Amino acid sequence: MTLVGRSLAASMGLPPFLCGIWMILFVFLEEVGGPFEEYSLEICNWVCTAIAIVVWVLIWRRRVIWTRRARIGTILSSSLLLFVAELVPLCRDFLSKYLGERWSIGIAGAMLGLWLMFTAFFWPARTTPAEERTQAGIHCLRCGYSLRGLTTTRCPECGFEPTMEVLCAAWVTEQGP
């Protein structure tokens, strides 16, 4: 499986993983009781949102060109997302009066989805399409950087250094029969 394929598979596994973590944490906090029982919804939303942000950035960190704009946008949007994840359950009395109890969970989930879409559209991609890489010749197997004109197999972009046999076999496989 390619690096992008693994990243996509991990990304698709993130929502069910977060739902499971949220349910386990909510049941645990409700069973423990005490001071946690009153704020279990807030704690679950905040913890799962923080996990989502960290895991999402870890999944895609090598595929993104971390420009100043991308870093600042990610930090600001992540902060806003964490604020909304905490604010929505705190406003549940207001929301339940007008919208119902389930809306507070739905709004937090929708905001997480919007954040994930935001990053997908606004993070500049590090890789080029396969057609451009094919035209560029042999490229790094890790980051996609063109190795055309270099005298070694070491990638100047990420430092990955495969053997010439591995590099050529990957190029032949990509070119097809």
Instruction: Quick: pLDDT tens for 143-162.
Output: 888 887 888 888 888 888 88
Indicate whether 29 and 48 sit together in one domain. Answer: yes
Indicate whether 93 and 170 sit together in one domain. Answer: no
Label residue 126 by pLDDT band (50, 70, 90). low
Q: What pairs with residue 139 in β-bridges?
A: 146
Res 96 pLDDT > 70: no
Indicate whether 107 and 134 sit together in one domain. Answer: no
Overall domain count for the chain: 2
Q: Which domain holds residue 20?
A: 3-122
109's tokens: 């989930």
Indicate whether 12 and 66 sit together in one domain. Answer: yes
Indicate whether 148 and 117 sit together in one domain. Answer: no
Indicate whether 110 and 171 sit together in one domain. Answer: no
